[in-house]
Structure 1
Amino acid sequence: MPAPKPLGTLLNAPDYAERVNLIKKIKTAAGWRFAPVVPEANGRLKDRVRVNGQIETHPEGAYYIEWRVGGRKGHRYRTPVAREEAIDAARHKALELAAIRDGLIAAPEPPPAASDKTLIGDAIDDYLKYVKMQRKARTWLTYRYTLDTLLRASYKRKFVEDATRDDVLDFMTYCYEKGLGARTVYDKVVTVLQLFKKHGRSGLMEKGDWPKYVETIRPIYEPEEMTPMFEIATVDEADLLKFILGSGYRDQEIRYIEYVDLDFRHDLARVTAKPKWDFTPKNWEERVVPLPHALMQRLQKRKERKNARPHDLVFGNTRGNPDSEMDMVVKRLAERAGLNCGHCVTEHGNKCAEGPYCMNFFLHKFRHTFATNHLRDGVDIRTVQAWMGHRDIKSTMVYLKGIRSKDAAHKVNNGELAGLVA
C-alpha cells in the first residue's frame, strides 16, 4: 500500500477517485449549509470553515466526510463523523479510495446515496448547541429534556424533514404517558415545533390538536398577608420585599441589580446586562421601571447604610455575590407571621406545618401582585407590558383575569342586585 499522504493532499487530491472533503454543517443567516473545514497548521480542528471565501468560526453543527465514486460527475457520498475522529476518518477514507484505484483492495459494496436530509439525532444535537449559546442555562436544560429525552424517545422517523402531524401527536401522547400536565405538554410542543420549523416543517398542528388546559388566575398577595410580614420583617428583609412589590422584577433580575441601576433623581430602576455575572435580561431586552418615590427614598437609605459603591449588588449576599436564597426570605417571614396554611408538603417532603415551606408564599407572587394592582388602578396594559418586560402582550393579558377594578366594585355595590342579595 502506498505511504500515507499529508492531510492537505488527501483532502484536496486532484483525482476524484481518492479525494475526500472534510466539511461541516453550519448555521448562517441564510440557514443551515455545508462548508469546507479549515484545519489548523498542526492538523487540529478549531471549528473554522470557509464561507464565501472567508474563514469563519462556527462551533455549532456537525462534521462530515464527503467523497465521490465515478469521477467528478459520479455519485457523491457523505457520512457524519465525530469532531475528534474527523481528520483520521478523512485520512482513512482517502487511503482506502487510493488503494481501490490501484487495485490493491476490492471495492466495497457502494454505500447508499447521500441524502440532503438531516438525521433527527443530528438535528436535536445542533439545535441544543444553538440554544446553549443563545439562551439561558435554565432554558437549555428545559429544551434538553424536551428534545434529547422526550422527542428522541418518541420520534420514530429517521430524518427530521419527514416530520408529520402524527409525529407531533405521538410526542404529546408520550408526554402524557410520562405524567406531564397539559400546560407543560403545551410548552414542550411549542419547543418541538420550533425545531421542525428550522428544518422546513411548519403548519403541522391543526387548531383542535393543541393540549387543552385551564389558564389559571395568577395568585397575588392581599394586604392582610403583606402587612403582617412587613411588620415583623427586619429592615433588610423589608427592603427586598418592598422592592420586588414596587418594581415587578423577576427573581433573577433582583439578584443582579446594582446601585448604579437606580436613578434616584428620576425614581427609576433599570434592568441591564451584567457581563461580570454572565447575566442578560430575559428576551435580551433591557428596560426601565418607574418606582414610587417612597421606595426610592428607602433604597437611598439602604445604600447609605451599606456604604455601598455604584456597582455593588443591591441585594447581594454577605460576600457581595448574587443571593440564591432570596425565595426563603418570604417563606421565613410567612412562618414568623403565622401565615403558613399548615397543609403544604413540598416535593422534597418538607411540611408547611413544621417550618418555612408554605407553597403559598414565594417571591414571584410579588411580581403577580405588581402587575395585577397596576392594571386594577387603571395603568394601560401596554405600559404594564413594558414594565414587566413581556415580549408578547398575551403574557400580560393573563393578569386581566384577576382584575377587580375599583369602578367595577362601585357599580356592583350600587346596582339593583346588591339590594336583592342583601
Structure 2
Amino acid sequence: MNFENNLAFARSMDLQDPIGHLRDEFLFPTQKNVPFIYLCGNSLGLQPKAARKVLDEQLSNWENLAVEGWFEGDNPWMFYHKALKKLMAPLVGASAAEVCPMNTLTVNLHLLMVSFYKPSATRFKIIMEAGAFPSDQYAIESQVRFHGYDPKDAIIEVAPREGEYTLRTEDIIESISDNGAEIALVLFGGVNYFTGQWFDMQAITEAGHKAGAVVGFDLAHAAGNVPLQLHDWKVDFACWCSYKYQNSGPGGISGIFVHEKHFKDTTLNRFAGWWGYQEEQRFKMEKGFVPEAGADGWQVSCTQVMPMALYFASLQIFEMAGFMEPLRNKSKKLTAYLFFIVNEVNKTLGFEQYTMITPITEQDRGAQVSIIAKQGGKEVFNQLVAKNVLGDWREPNVIRLSPVPLYNSFEDIFLTGEYLLAISKSILTPIY
C-alpha cells in the first residue's frame, strides 16, 4: 500500500476503517484534560467502558444473593466461566473445551509444566528463546531445579545471530533437531515481548513433535494480538494473560489451552484442586481426584468472579469486531504505517536516529514496533509522554509502540510521528 505522511491521508484511512467505531468502546487516560495517544496495549490494554457495568452487576449479585450467587441469578458463578470459554476459543483457534480462564499467567505456566514437563534420565532438557520474558525464565529455571537438574545443563536457549535482533526460524528448527534426543519440552513465547517478533509457531510445533518433545507456548503477547490456530497446529498446551491485548485490567485473569488429544491421558501429573474435580460430582466432597473433562480439569481454585467479569467485558468487544480476522487486517496496516512514519522521521532528520528491530515482514510481527533510539532515548520517550503519547520504555535504549486495532487510529500514528520529529529536532545532534 502507498502511504502518505500527512493528516488528511491518516484521516481518510480512519474513515475507511470498518471497525474504527470500536474505539468508542474504551476509556482513554488523560493528561491535563487531553486524552493520551495510547500505544501501550502490549503492556496494559485500555479499560472497556462496559467494565464498570459488568463489575457493578456482579457486586449487586454479591450484595443481593450472597452465597446463593453461586447457583442463582442470571449468570450463576458456578458456571460463569463457560460464557467466557466460548469467546476465548476463537481468539486462539481452539474449541471451548480446550480453553479455560483461571489463575494468573505464571501460576498457569507452572501448573501446565507439572503436567507436560516429564523429564527422564536421557530426555530432560527444555529449549526456549534467549531473552524470554523474565517470568518465563524464572519459571523454567525453578521447574528444572525442582526435578533435580542444573539449569545450565537442562535449558537450551536459542539466540539471534551476531549482529541480528530476532531469531531465524531455521535456527530454531536446527537447534531442536540437533538436541532432539535430549529435549523433553519446547517452550517458546508466541510473540517476543522485547522485539515484537511473532515466531512461526506451527513450524516450531512440528519440529518439536518430530523430535519427540512436548510443545507449549506463553502467549502473553500473542493472544488477542495475532491470529492463532492452536488446535490445528497441534500445540500441546499454552497459557496467556488477558490484560495486554485483551484488556481485562491490571493483573487480570489468565487463560489456558490444552489440546484435546491430552484429555484422556491418565498418565499426566497435575496439581489438583477442588474446582478441577468433575463438575456434576463436585459437591459430594469425595476423596480421590477425578478431573472435569477438558481444560477445566486443570482448575485448582474456584471461579474468580470479578476478574472474569472484567475479561468478559472485553471479550464481548472482540465478538463485536468479528474476532481476529478484521482485527488482524487493520493491525497489519496500522503497524506498516508506523514503520513508514518512523522512516519518514529518519529521512527528514537526514540520519538514522531510530532503528526498528521488529521484523518488517507482516507474518513475523503483531501489533508492536520496537525502536532503538541511538541518541537520547529516555529523553525522547519522556518528551513523548509529555506530549500525550504513551508507549513504554525498555532498557537500555528501546521504545516500544503498540498500535492496537481495537482502539488505535491512523491519526494516532501520524501525530506520533509529528511529535517524534519535533522532539528529535530539538534535542538531537545530527549523525552523518
TM value normalised by structure 1: 0.23
**Max radius of gyration: which structure?**
1
Q: Whose RCO is larger (CA < 8 A, sep 6+)?
A: 2
TM value normalised by structure 2: 0.23
